[in-house]
């Protein structure tokens, strides 16, 4: 009885018209998340990036074999989680700029320049962003791995290892433990290329276990001074 009394006291102060439904704006949603994960690791003399090839659409699988990556030159690739359409558009823009740069400079872009260009391009769309969560992975001028991570509007950060996509959050604490040794600083050491590939492959298969949007297969990109190699890693298809 006491409660209902209080409510009626409030009710008397409420304006009746606010109980009528206000108009709700209906708009075409320009964005969608096509799912998938990208993980990468930079080390001495190499950079490894693994990106799954599943294309999702909500709970559906739209394709089991669509790449999330683009090779720009013999030393650098770009990959992204998020929306396929924006990813394609962005990668085509960066690729075109890279080709024009090569025409004008008679040499390819350095990984750092590509990284900066991606940042600037993303920010140029600050008020209608590319729905992409990018990683630029490559080799620097000394032959060591260089890795950059971004948000959707171009906030750029150079990283020793990076993750993007729906399964990224599953990988982050694991890589914090295994690569940066955040939980056991005394054991920190540089990983060899073979160790890095094995670690990232295990990480990707583990993501596929738990993230419903990640799976089918993954592209394993290995970047060294001798060039770029790509292998396929099968993942679970459920």
- Site for another protein, rule CB under 8 A: 101, 104-105, 109-110, 112-113, 115-117, 120
The number of residues in the chain equals 238
Of the two residues 21 and 103, which places its CB atom closer to another protein in the complex? 103
Q: Tell which residue, 76, 149, 151, 150, has the closest CA to residue 113.
A: 76
Of the two residues 101 and 174, which places its CB atom closer to another protein in the complex? 101
CA distance 53 to 64: 6
CA distance 121 to 111: 15
The distance of closest approach from Cβ of residue 80 to another protein in the complex, given in angstroms and rounded to an integer, is 20
The distance of closest approach from Cβ of residue 105 to another protein in the complex, given in angstroms and rounded to an integer, is 7
The distance of closest approach from Cβ of residue 90 to another protein in the complex, given in angstroms and rounded to an integer, is 15
CA distance 6 to 204: 56
CA distance 123 to 118: 9
Of the two residues 50 and 109, which places its CB atom closer to another protein in the complex? 109
Q: Tell which residue, 171, 237, 161, 174, has the closest CA to residue 204.
A: 171
Phi/psi for 46 (5° steps) reads: -155, 165
The distance of closest approach from Cβ of residue 112 to another protein in the complex, given in angstroms and rounded to an integer, is 5
Q: Which DSSP letter does residue 60 get?
A: E
Of the two residues 100 and 169, which places its CB atom closer to another protein in the complex? 100
Q: Computed over its alpha carbons, how large is the radius of gyration of the chain?
A: 23
Q: Which DSSP letter does residue 19 get?
A: G
The distance of closest approach from Cβ of residue 116 to another protein in the complex, given in angstroms and rounded to an integer, is 4
Of the two residues 103 and 184, which places its CB atom closer to another protein in the complex? 103
The distance of closest approach from Cβ of residue 48 to another protein in the complex, given in angstroms and rounded to an integer, is 23
Of the two residues 141 and 190, which places its CB atom closer to another protein in the complex? 141
Identify whether the C-beta of residue 162 lies closer than 8 Å to the C-beta of residue 39: yes
All residues at 6 or more sequence positions from 144 whose CB lies less than 8 Å from its CB, including other chains? 42, 43, 44, 45
């Amino acid at each position: 009885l006491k409660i209902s009394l209080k409510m009626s006291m409030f009710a008397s102060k409420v304006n009746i018209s606010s109980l009528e439904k206000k108009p709700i704006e209906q708009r075409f949603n320009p964005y969608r998340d096509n799912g998938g994960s990208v993980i990468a690791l930079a080390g001495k003399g190499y950079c490894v990036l693994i990106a799954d090839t599943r294309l999702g659409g909500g709970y559906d699988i739209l394709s089991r074999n669509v790449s999330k990556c683009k090779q720009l030159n013999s030393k650098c690739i770009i990959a992204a989680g998020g929306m396929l359409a924006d990813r394609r558009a962005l990668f085509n823009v960066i690729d075109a700029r890279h080709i024009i740069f090569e025409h004008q400079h008679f040499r390819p872009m350095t990984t750092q320049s590509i990284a900066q260009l991606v940042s600037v391009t993303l920010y140029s769309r600050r008020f209608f962003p590319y729905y992409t969560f990018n990683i630029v992975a490559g080799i620097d001028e000394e032959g060591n791995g260089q890795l950059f991570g971004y948000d959707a509007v171009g906030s750029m950060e150079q990283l020793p290892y990076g993750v993007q996509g729906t399964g990224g959050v599953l990988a982050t604490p694991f890589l914090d433990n295994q690569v940066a040794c955040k939980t056991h600083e005394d054991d920190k050491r540089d990983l060899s290329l073979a160790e890095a590939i094995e670690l990232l492959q295990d990480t990707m298969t583990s993501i596929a276990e738990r993230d419903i949007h990640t799976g089918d297969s993954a592209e394993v990109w290995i970047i060294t001074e001798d060039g770029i190699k790509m292998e396929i890693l099968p993942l679970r298809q459920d």
